[in-house]
Amino acid sequence: MENSPEMFFSATANAFYPSAFRADYEAAGTWPEDAVAVPYSTFQEFALDAAPAGKERVVGPDGLPMWADLPAPSVEQLAAAARAERDTALKATDWLVARHRDEVDAGGKTALTADQFKALLAYRKTLRDLPNKKGFPAVAMPKVPDFL
Protein backbone atom coordinates (compact mmCIF):
# COMPACT_ATOMS: atom_id res chain seq x y z
CA MET A 1 0.00 0.00 0.00
CA GLU A 2 1.59 3.26 -1.12
CA ASN A 3 2.41 5.75 1.67
CA SER A 4 1.59 3.16 4.32
CA PRO A 5 3.50 3.41 7.57
CA GLU A 6 6.34 0.97 8.12
CA MET A 7 5.26 -1.70 10.56
CA PHE A 8 7.18 -4.09 12.79
CA PHE A 9 6.03 -7.32 14.38
CA SER A 10 7.24 -8.82 17.66
CA ALA A 11 6.82 -12.57 18.10
CA THR A 12 7.33 -12.41 21.86
CA ALA A 13 4.56 -9.81 22.21
CA ASN A 14 2.45 -11.09 19.28
CA ALA A 15 1.98 -7.41 18.49
CA PHE A 16 2.59 -4.83 15.79
CA TYR A 17 4.54 -1.62 16.28
CA PRO A 18 4.57 1.38 13.92
CA SER A 19 8.04 2.65 13.10
CA ALA A 20 6.78 6.22 13.60
CA PHE A 21 6.71 5.58 17.36
CA ARG A 22 9.94 3.60 17.60
CA ALA A 23 11.83 6.44 19.31
CA ASP A 24 9.08 6.71 21.93
CA TYR A 25 9.11 2.96 22.56
CA GLU A 26 12.89 2.95 22.81
CA ALA A 27 12.88 5.95 25.18
CA ALA A 28 10.42 4.04 27.37
CA GLY A 29 12.50 0.87 27.09
CA THR A 30 9.59 -1.03 25.53
CA TRP A 31 10.72 -1.54 21.93
CA PRO A 32 10.85 -5.33 21.53
CA GLU A 33 14.26 -6.77 20.74
CA ASP A 34 12.75 -9.25 18.28
CA ALA A 35 10.80 -6.65 16.24
CA VAL A 36 11.08 -7.31 12.51
CA ALA A 37 9.81 -5.20 9.64
CA VAL A 38 6.72 -6.63 7.96
CA PRO A 39 4.78 -5.52 4.90
CA TYR A 40 1.82 -3.26 5.61
CA SER A 41 -0.39 -5.95 4.08
CA THR A 42 0.62 -8.28 6.93
CA PHE A 43 -0.40 -5.63 9.46
CA GLN A 44 -3.65 -5.09 7.54
CA GLU A 45 -4.52 -8.78 7.51
CA PHE A 46 -3.56 -9.63 11.08
CA ALA A 47 -4.36 -6.42 12.97
CA LEU A 48 -6.92 -4.37 11.06
CA ASP A 49 -9.07 -6.95 9.31
CA ALA A 50 -11.35 -9.23 11.29
CA ALA A 51 -10.03 -12.67 12.06
CA PRO A 52 -11.53 -15.45 9.95
CA ALA A 53 -14.33 -17.31 11.71
CA GLY A 54 -12.99 -19.73 14.31
CA LYS A 55 -9.43 -18.40 14.08
CA GLU A 56 -7.10 -16.36 16.24
CA ARG A 57 -3.76 -14.69 15.57
CA VAL A 58 -0.78 -16.66 16.82
CA VAL A 59 2.92 -16.57 16.13
CA GLY A 60 3.97 -19.05 13.49
CA PRO A 61 7.15 -21.14 13.47
CA ASP A 62 8.80 -18.42 11.35
CA GLY A 63 8.12 -15.81 14.06
CA LEU A 64 5.46 -14.08 11.97
CA PRO A 65 1.73 -13.87 12.56
CA MET A 66 -0.55 -16.61 11.27
CA TRP A 67 -4.12 -17.77 11.81
CA ALA A 68 -4.77 -20.81 13.97
CA ASP A 69 -7.93 -22.54 15.12
CA LEU A 70 -9.40 -21.17 18.33
CA PRO A 71 -8.84 -23.59 21.18
CA ALA A 72 -11.85 -25.58 22.32
CA PRO A 73 -13.51 -23.98 25.35
CA SER A 74 -12.55 -25.44 28.71
CA VAL A 75 -15.06 -27.27 30.89
CA GLU A 76 -15.08 -24.20 33.15
CA GLN A 77 -15.93 -21.93 30.20
CA LEU A 78 -18.66 -24.29 29.03
CA ALA A 79 -20.08 -24.41 32.57
CA ALA A 80 -20.04 -20.61 32.83
CA ALA A 81 -21.86 -20.33 29.49
CA ALA A 82 -24.44 -22.92 30.55
CA ARG A 83 -25.01 -21.09 33.84
CA ALA A 84 -25.39 -17.78 32.01
CA GLU A 85 -27.97 -19.33 29.67
CA ARG A 86 -29.77 -20.83 32.67
CA ASP A 87 -29.69 -17.50 34.54
CA THR A 88 -31.12 -15.69 31.52
CA ALA A 89 -33.98 -18.18 31.32
CA LEU A 90 -34.72 -17.75 35.03
CA LYS A 91 -34.67 -13.95 34.80
CA ALA A 92 -36.96 -14.09 31.79
CA THR A 93 -39.69 -15.63 33.99
CA ASP A 94 -39.08 -13.73 37.26
CA TRP A 95 -41.67 -11.11 36.33
CA LEU A 96 -44.30 -13.78 35.63
CA VAL A 97 -43.82 -15.42 39.02
CA ALA A 98 -44.01 -12.03 40.74
CA ARG A 99 -47.12 -11.01 38.80
CA HIS A 100 -48.89 -14.28 39.56
CA ARG A 101 -48.13 -14.01 43.28
CA ASP A 102 -49.29 -10.37 43.30
CA GLU A 103 -52.53 -11.38 41.58
CA VAL A 104 -53.10 -14.19 44.09
CA ASP A 105 -52.35 -11.88 47.05
CA ALA A 106 -54.75 -9.27 45.67
CA GLY A 107 -57.45 -11.91 45.45
CA GLY A 108 -58.18 -11.20 41.80
CA LYS A 109 -58.13 -13.21 38.62
CA THR A 110 -54.70 -14.59 37.65
CA ALA A 111 -53.22 -14.58 34.18
CA LEU A 112 -51.91 -18.12 34.72
CA THR A 113 -53.98 -21.09 35.72
CA ALA A 114 -52.92 -23.02 38.80
CA ASP A 115 -51.57 -25.80 36.55
CA GLN A 116 -49.62 -23.30 34.43
CA PHE A 117 -48.10 -21.76 37.55
CA LYS A 118 -47.08 -25.19 38.85
CA ALA A 119 -45.52 -25.98 35.45
CA LEU A 120 -43.68 -22.65 35.53
CA LEU A 121 -42.31 -23.39 39.00
CA ALA A 122 -41.26 -26.89 37.90
CA TYR A 123 -39.49 -25.43 34.85
CA ARG A 124 -37.65 -22.93 37.05
CA LYS A 125 -36.64 -25.67 39.51
CA THR A 126 -35.26 -27.74 36.63
CA LEU A 127 -33.28 -24.70 35.50
CA ARG A 128 -31.88 -24.15 39.00
CA ASP A 129 -30.94 -27.84 39.26
CA LEU A 130 -29.09 -27.96 35.92
CA PRO A 131 -25.58 -27.53 37.40
CA ASN A 132 -26.19 -30.61 39.58
CA LYS A 133 -27.37 -32.74 36.67
CA LYS A 134 -25.07 -35.59 35.62
CA GLY A 135 -22.97 -34.57 32.62
CA PHE A 136 -23.19 -30.82 33.30
CA PRO A 137 -22.35 -28.63 31.41
CA ALA A 138 -23.09 -30.90 28.43
CA VAL A 139 -26.79 -31.11 29.26
CA ALA A 140 -29.81 -29.84 27.37
CA MET A 141 -31.83 -26.91 28.61
CA PRO A 142 -35.30 -27.94 29.74
CA LYS A 143 -38.21 -27.44 27.37
CA VAL A 144 -39.91 -24.08 27.86
CA PRO A 145 -43.58 -24.52 28.81
CA ASP A 146 -45.88 -23.99 25.82
CA PHE A 147 -47.76 -21.13 27.47
CA LEU A 148 -44.65 -18.95 27.80
Residue 148 located in a structural domain: no
Decide if pLDDT at 99 tops 80: yes
Separation between Cα atoms, residue 38 and residue 5, nearest integer Å: 11
Q: Which amino acid is at 26?
A: E
Task: Please compute the mean of the pLDDT values over residues 73-99 and round it to a whole number.
Answer: 96
What's the confidence (pLDDT) of residue 2? 56
Residue 18 located in a structural domain: yes
Residue 143 located in a structural domain: no
Same domain (yes/no): 12, 57: yes
Same domain (yes/no): 11, 64: yes
Same domain (yes/no): 17, 64: yes
Residue 97 contacts residue 120 (beta carbons within 8 Å): yes
Separation between Cα atoms, residue 5 and residue 41, nearest integer Å: 11
Same domain (yes/no): 48, 12: yes
Task: Please compute the mean of the pLDDT values over residues 131-144 and round it to a whole number.
Answer: 96
Residue 12 located in a structural domain: yes
| Count: domains in the chain | 2
Measuring CA to CA, which residue among 60, 81, 72 is closest to residue 130? 81
| Model pTM score | 0.61
Task: Please compute the mean of the pLDDT values over residues 43-64 and round it to a whole number.
Answer: 97
Euclidean distance between the first and the last CA atom of the chain, given in angstroms as a whole number = 56
Task: Please compute the mean of the pLDDT values over residues 42-62 and round it to a whole number.
Answer: 97
Same domain (yes/no): 85, 63: no
Same domain (yes/no): 56, 107: no
Residue 141 located in a structural domain: no
Residue 117 located in a structural domain: yes
Same domain (yes/no): 84, 57: no
Residue 144 located in a structural domain: no
In terms of residue numbers, what domain contains 37?
A: 7-69
Separation between Cα atoms, residue 34 and residue 8, nearest integer Å: 9
On average, the pLDDT of the chain sits at 95
Residue 43 located in a structural domain: yes
